[in-house]
Amino acid sequence: MNKKIQLQDLGTKDFKDTWDYQETLFKAILDTKIKNRREDAGLITENHFLFVEHPHVYTLGKSGDLSNLLLSESQLAEKGATFYKINRGGDITYHGPGQIVGYPILDLDNFFTDIHKYLRFLEEVIILTLAEYGLKTERSPGETGVWLDVGTPFARKICAMGVRASRWVTMHGFALNVNADLGYFDHIIPCGIRGKAVTTLNNELGVDSVNENEVKVKLLKHFSALFEANFV
């Protein structure tokens, strides 16, 4: 099993360009697996992890409801935002500046073949990272992602998640609100869940901004420990 993960920080990159790049990496892993199965080739499958920050964009998962986007095409243009229907699970979400997006493109045959466990591990990476900032975050039953004050009128989401998997290969991932502009969430029903707020790390800490590179280092530390992986 190959537990090495090739890490790339793409900086600020258009959502569609990044999606296409993910698809290229995803397909290459699938092609290797298919070749191994057909020819007993014994090839090692690669694993990748992409960090990226997107310009303002709304994305709707394959099971999502378009009515959860509250903007028309012209209003999207006014906000400087784009919109895509994509092939991950989940409903609608927002990506933009001040948000750390992580896309693990892994062959889970190298780790464990359990999508439920995979999602819980992604959540745990976020929970452990935010604990280092003194925040108690948790899961909300039936709602993928990471939240604060679950079960109270003040429940708010700080990290959204949505993945795609085929033949145990993953793509898409998580979006952690660090210094994001929460105003952009007012134009959607986030993840299709009404009556619950969204928050950011800097808002919870009561500071103007949080060092995003520092957050990335912590995320990678916890990801590496949970998945028993090495980043290269």
Residues marked active site are found at 191
Binding-site residue set: 88-95, 160-162, 173-175
Binding-site residue set for substrate: 88-95, 160-162, 173-175
Task: Indicate if the alpha-carbon torsion angle 93, 99, 103, 104 is positive or negative.
Answer: negative
Contacts of 191 (CB under 8 A, 6+ apart): 90, 91, 92, 93, 143, 145, 157, 160
Task: Indicate if the alpha-carbon torsion angle 25, 26, 29, 34 is positive or negative.
Answer: negative
**DSSP for residue 224:** H
Which amino acid, one-letter code, is at 169?
V
Bin 49: left if φ > 0, else alpha if -120 < ψ < 50, else beta: beta
- Choose among 82, 49, 42, 86: nearest CA to 64: 86
**DSSP for residue 178:** S
